[in-house]
Structure 1
Amino acid sequence: MSSKKFHPSALHEKPGIPAPETISGYAVQHIQKFRKLQPSANELVAGILNGNITALSRAITLVESTSSAHLAKANEVITSCLPHANKSVRIGITGVPGVGKSTFIEAFGKYLTGLGKKVAVLAVDPSSTISHGSILGDKTRMEELVKDENAFIRPSASGDTLGGVARKTRETITLCEAAGFDTIIIETVGVGQSETAVHSMVDFFLLLKISGAGDELQGIKRGIMEMADAIVINKADGDNVKRAHLAKVEFNRALHLFPAKKSGWTPTTAACSAITQEGISEVWTTIEKFLTLTKGNNYFFEKRKEQNQYWMLETINEQLKSNFFSNPGIQQSMAVTKKAVQNDEISPFAAAQKLLETYFKKE
């Protein structure tokens, strides 16, 4: 018989520590009961219209849910909020990673709340293609703005959405507008994917750049520049001021090579520093000039009508895709078809056509 002593694993479970007497049992029960309660659609709408941030946050979570059980309730909330929406200016902000989008938005947002405006920031964080997780750290990076009572920051995961815009960002805008926010800022994950999505839900599209990141004309995608209503060179402070203003001149020359915009607006360039606040007020002045022009020639309102149509069609595409991949018959055929494609027994195009025919026959 071995004389070796048995040592229990350090990973074994130990008895729980009893709650101290300072914790009220009634309070614990009340909190647990409250967490289990799910407010009705009417209660959420009432809270949103009263500017209740908790109700707004819960409604956004409901809208972002991929559960089919939440779809009807989410649609009811959005429909009830629609008559109270469309009273804000929507600003899209994009730029390469590291350009200082979050720092700029915090400085810009603080400036706007200082003018008495209510600002909602819808920050989209990139999702990992491996773990599918997101850090959602925008509130941490905007530590001053997040404490402002006239500001609301909502980070969302981009998921597999093209363009770095969260799946339900368009509906979230409606909820924020109904809650009384008159300025909606949408921050994308950065240039690299199609930015058409964010451009199709905002009134003003702002492109942030930095100097010294390479050739000023080749280091940017032409499509992004054509969509931009203004280009702002950020980080124009310290030793970088001269380079930033040189970059501003180069971008201004490049903008003149593009066709005129339907809006009648001529895109502008500017330099600013989110750290020193230099140039922040000028950005808002530019946006105000844009709004005056586009509302005066009716482009502003026509563009919003076109955007509504665009998102109707996008929603149909998304729903069709979701229904296709969740169809039991397709799920059964998918594995076999994938294997056949991998083994070159059938072309990818013929395989796709076969699956689509199977789907529509079952429908």
Structure 2
Amino acid sequence: MSNFNKQTGSSTEKAGISSPEITNASAISQIKNKRRQQPSVEELISGILSENRTALSRAITLVESTNPEHAEKANEVIKGCLPEANKSIRIGVTGVPGVGKSTFIEAFGKHLTTFGKKVAVLAVDPSSSLSHGSILGDKTRMEELVKDENAFIRPSASGETLGGVARKTRESIILCEAAGFDTIIIETVGVGQSETAVHNMVDFFLLLKISGAGDELQGIKRGIMEMADAIVINKADGDNIKKANLAKAEFNRALHLFPSKKSSWQPKVTTCSAITKDGISEVWKTISQYFEMTHENGFFKTKRKEQNQFWMMETIEEKLKSDFYSQPEIIAELEKIKKAVQNNEISPFAAAHLLLDKYKKI
């Protein structure tokens, strides 16, 4: 209880009367202890295989963690889920910012869930090179799909990873497959022609484009166009339908200039509107034709094997790089060498060899 002092304009508390505790100390302790409790490897694997979304989310968080203590546990979870993985189709969706990737994926995902497909969307958001922060707003943009019981959306930050994918997207795919999702969609940050990483983890690579934005000229260039299995002209609605059809014709002509794919598949160009849903079913029809053909000619299995080998090599390189920069001797020497390079006391190449020789002796 307190009295108000008119002269000082402040209140004073009466002696002998203390403010009641708003929160019970025991309750706080229980909450903290609960937060500290982490599910075991067995609990996570069991939860994922029983299609528990919470277990799946916690496992992906564990996999994405940069804490060295979590790496071993994450590997055990992946190992336990691996026998139940590789039973999905993996679709990569890319395109420049503003092309409508999230809106398209929501419309496409809803179309798939209507006939019983279980869809997992691994959306990668760009990280700031300055603050290293990321908005992770894909769940907000896919407000209908996020409520669908047959869909799971997981946004992740790209961090410093090149290629428009998160550092651990490959492992997240395995976890989603083990959780019963038969269609995995990976939305990249849309970094233009640096999409090799996502191309090497999906079965079908879909490139979204829009008409009337100078994008037609990009179709004549190689780069990302050679990786695309289909090009979809989005926002083909209203007054934009005519422009979209013209863009479709331009891209079709451009695709015929490229050499044949190893899959023997001829990439197709379609138009759609993620808003009106027109053309969405045709996109799925194209993807289905691709999978039917590549299963018949054996390319599907061959590509999966090549991708597994690629990601083994990528993991080795990542591990070596991480181990190199975490060595105390390297950390101590690196700053000195940097200054020497800046002052032209040693060449960058000689400095690199010096550090690598030191690392070999550790």
TM-score of the two chains, using structure 1 as the length reference: 0.92
Matches within 5 A, 1:42-191: 42-191=42-191
Distance 1:138 1:199 in 2: 21
Gaps of 5+ in 1: 9-14
Query: 1 CA distance for matches of 2:67 and 2:348?
Result: 30
Kindly provide the amino acid, as one letter, of the partner of residue 144 in structure 1: E
Q: Give the counterpart letter for 1:79 in structure 2.
A: K
Q: Is 1:288 matched with 2:252?
A: no
> How many pairs align?
349
User: In structure 1, what is the equivalent of residue 266 of structure 2?
Assistant: 266
Counterpart for residue 12 of structure 1: none
Q: Determine the C-alpha separation between the residues in 2 that align with 1:114 and 1:216.
A: 33
Please show how residues 17-56 of structure 1 align to structure 2 within 5 Å. 18-19=21-22, 31-56=31-56
Structure 1 position 194, deviation (Å): 1.5
- Report what 1:315 is aligned to: 315
Counterpart of 2:199 in structure 1 is 199
- Cα offset for 1:191? 2.9
Cα distance 1:301–1:16, how it changes in 2: closer, same or farther (>3 A)?
A: farther
Give the superposition deviation at 1:361: 1.6
Q: Structure 1's 197 and 41: CA in aligned 2 closer, same or farther, altered over 3 A?
A: same
Report matched runs for 1:213-232 at 5 Å.
Answer: 213-214=213-214, 216-218=216-218, 221-232=221-232
Encode CA deviations 1:1-26: one digit per residue, 9 max, x unaligned: xxxx9999xxxxxx998548xxx999
SS in structure 2 of the partner of residue 352 of structure 1: helix
User: Following the alignment from structure 2 to structure 1, what is the Cα–Cα distance between the partners of residues 286 and 62?
Assistant: 36
In the alignment, is the contact (CA less than 8 A) between 1:164 and 1:193 conserved in 2? Answer: no
Does the 8 Å contact 2:94/2:187 carry over to 1?
A: yes
Deviation at 1:311, TM superposition (A): 0.2
**Cα distance in 1, alignment partners of residues 19 and 297 from structure 2:** 69
- Larger mean CA deviation between 189-198 and 202-211 belongs to 189-198
| Per-residue CA distance 1:67-125 (angstroms, 9 max, x = gap) | 11111110110001000001000000000000000000000000001111100000000
For 1:54 and 1:144, locate their aligned partners in 2 and report how far apart those are by CA, in whole Å: 20
Q: Distance in 1 between matches of 2:8 and 2:252?
A: 76
Distance of 2:222 and 2:81 partners within structure 1: 37
Task: Indicate the SS of the match to 2:99.
Answer: coil
Q: Is contact 2:64–2:167 with CA below 8 Å preserved after alignment? A: yes
Instruction: Give the superposition deviation at 1:222.
Output: 1.5
Please say if residues 95 and 190 of structure 1, whose CA atoms lie closer than 8 Å, have aligned partners that are also in contact. Answer: yes
Contact 2:95/2:192 (8 A) holds in 1:
no
Q: Structure 2 CA distance, aligned partners of 1:296 and 1:321?
A: 40
Residues 180 and 26 of structure 1: is their aligned pair in 2 closer, same or farther, counting only changes over 3 Å? Answer: farther
Q: Could you tell me how far apart the structure 2 residues matched to 1:75 and 1:220 are?
A: 43
Structure-2 change in CA distance of 1:43 and 1:248 (3 Å) = same
Q: Which amino acid aligns with 2:176?
A: C
Q: Is the 8 A contact 1:236 1:244 kept in 2?
A: yes
Alpha-carbon distance change, 226 to 219 in structure 1, aligned in 2, over 3 angstroms? closer
The residue type equivalent to 1:141 in the other structure is: R
| TM-score of the pair, normalised by structure 2 | 0.92
Alpha-carbon offset, residue 218 of structure 1 = 3.7
CA distance in 2, matches of 1:157, 1:202: 19
Identity %: 73
Q: Give the aligned residue type for 1:187.
A: E
Please show how residues 319-358 of structure 1 align to structure 2 within 5 Å.
319-358=319-358
Task: Say whether the 8 Å CA contact 1:162–1:193 is kept in structure 2.
Answer: no
- Aligned to 1:153, the other structure's residue is in SS state strand
SS, match of residue 217 in structure 1: helix
Question: What residue number does 2:359 align with?
Answer: 359
- What CA distance in whole angstroms lies between the structure 2 residues aligned with 1:279 and 1:16? 65
- Residue identity matched to 1:316: I
From the superposition, tell whether residues 261 and 351 of structure 1 become closer, same or farther in structure 2 (CA, over 3 Å).
Answer: same
Alpha-carbon distance change, 335 to 177 in structure 1, aligned in 2, over 3 angstroms = same
Deviations 1:255-306 (A, max 9, x none): 0000000001000000000000000000000000000000000100010000
Residues 7, 259 of structure 1: alpha-carbon distance in 2 compared, 3 angstrom cutoff? farther
- What is the CA distance between 1:36 and its match in structure 2? 2.4
Contact 1:217 1:254 survives alignment (8 Å): no
Give CA-to-partner distance per residue, 1:129-179, whole Å, 9 cap, x none.
000010000000000000001100000000000111101100000000000
Separation of aligned partners in 2, 1:185 and 1:334: 40
TM-superposed CA distance for 1:29, in Å, is 6.5
Moved over 2 A (4+): 5-8, 15-20, 24-36, 217-221
User: Is the CA contact 2:220–2:251 (under 8 Å) kept in the aligned structure 1?
Assistant: no
Structure 2 letter corresponding to 1:203: D
Distance change (3 Å), C-alpha of 1:215 and 1:33: closer
Corresponding position of 1:11: none
Residue 241 of structure 2 corresponds to: 241
Aligned Cα root-mean-square deviation (Å): 2.1
Which AA in structure 1 matches 2:179? A
